[in-house]
A and B are shown apart, each in its own frame.
Chain A
């Protein structure tokens, strides 16, 4: 494809001051939110001495130079557009190198009460609402990923569903990074408001050409009373990429949030979930699968706070680690005083395919209520020799048998996706990921 004509990029300095750098056409509230975030970051990026960053070190990352694309045409390689095509109708919203690409997007007719807009459009038509939601769940003062996104961010998408509104087709957010001579940085912000009794299925794909870049998406997802949000994310980025992502979620009474995350790519990745259960009978389900090799680092840090009782959490993370890869699972579940009848279960499992790989699991249940049912478990092990022998005794070669078992291990995560076509899309990505790791990551 033709080279892109890009306007000059600005380089991100990792030294921050508290000064407000107003951008052209930017509302004052956004400038001040960015200034506040910069003030937080002025103390520096979190070091491994900070407990929640003990296993993931950003110091080397912060010595890299990243540039931000100020403007320019957004175009994407056909291969990536094809790769992210799901064999079912969806409202497709495409970002290329961090910028909304209307020409590549395809948002169909939506029922009344539903809006899907770029962040810029939403600001110009509904500034007050956006100002209220931006940063309401992703707290820049306490969360470094939120702060980085707020400090540098531009662009994003806003999806709102009014009371009782439902989208039958999923919204597919596609984030594409293209090869570039400079390492680019993208900080998209996704704001979701699922009104009372509404239903939304959100698919996120993060894909790229080879190259170094920094992807820093933040989603704020408010699930109102009796609403349901399903959120299926595929992170399949280049091995030189850094991916620092946060999903900040709040649930009202009877609300449901179901997430399935499949993380295959990036050299250094951290996927955070920060979930606040504000209403009784809310249900949270988090599934995570990661498939990494080489020197990849994949961090999964989740924090779920049960502020009220009679709500449930189910959390299952499964990692496959090969080479010298390092997987991190930090799962905190807090049950606040009085949140009785909380039902929360967490499981972390890793499959170690090489002796050089490393898995760190830190489950943390902080229970301040009496009458609760909570459990957690963590296990780590190699492929089961009995399973391997069983498959080989049927004529399946050793490498193919290993691949089947690894795919099976991850398939349990992917099976949580309720839509067959989307499941097939994730399964394909997992299979490609396995092969890219050079034969079953063995």
Chain B
């Protein structure tokens, strides 16, 4: 589904991604773990198409098409979703208005019928309840005054509503207490399907107790230095990043 080959990307003139290779097939969930500053968020922004993240070499194919040629909104409509590490506050734009605009923009692009206000409210209520979010929260401006945990739930809500094919979750677990983590993890698991794939970026094993990745990768200095099964995350938890780097004493 997603094929990243020899990806190099610069931010502010500095090369952050330095030859990253990653192939994710439909139905799979991959996890990327790596120290702060290793380029995890940079990778997620490059995939989502943020300005200022300049790809200097390599390619990204999404279902065989050149993802990097698309604008951010075209990527979203094609089925790419990024749950932001730091969701952006947008004063003055009610969450519900934003959600409806986004969902209908995506549906329209996919040739599906746009929801009317009533249909949308019904849909939103169902998804919202599953994530334990109040109606009042969605009347408030997008992410403004939301706690860290509320922002992350809101990301998962958007993901559930947009029904993407490929999802990148950038530290969606950080800032969540144990209960919220369980709810968010359930939201993520509910989206797993044979025709979808996920890339979960995290710092901690803790999320991986709830969502079970098929493959775990270690990212260091803009490159994947080790890949393995779920046991790699446990090893990392025990030994720290230095201990799992290739060449480290076993």
Contact = CB atoms under 8 A, between A and B. Distances in A.
Interface in A392-414: 392-398, 400-401, 404-405, 407-412
A128 interface: no
Given A390-B88, A396-B102, A405 B93 contact: yes
B98 interface: yes
B39 interface: no
Interface stretch (A2-10, A234-242, A381-389): A381-389
A395 B92 contact: no
A391 interface: yes
B101 interface: yes
Given A398-B71, A404-B101, A393 B48 contact: yes
Nearest to A401: B73
Interface string A333-357: 0000000000000000000000000
Interface string A34-48: 000000000000000
Interface string B86-121: 011111110001100110011001000000000000
Contacts of B92: 405, 407-412, 415
Contacts of A404: 93, 97-98, 101
- Name the residue among B48, B93, B141 with the largest chain A CB count within 10 angstroms: B93
Contacts of A387: 88-90
Nearest to B99: A394
Nearest to B141: A408
Nearest to B76: A395
B49 interface: yes
B91 A412 contact: yes
A396 B48 CA distance: 13
B77 interface: yes
Contacts of B73: 392-398, 401
Given A395-B77, A397-B105, 5 more contacts: A392-B76, A396-B73, A404-B98, A410-B92, A412-B91
23 contacts: A387-B89, A389-B50, A390-B90, A391-B90, A391-B98, A391-B102, A393-B73, A393-B75, A393-B76, A394-B105, A395-B73, A395-B102, A396-B73, A397-B73, A398-B73, A400-B105, A401-B73, A404-B97, A407-B93, A408-B91, A408-B141, A412-B91, A412-B92
Interface of A: 385-387, 389-398, 400-401, 404-405, 407-412, 415
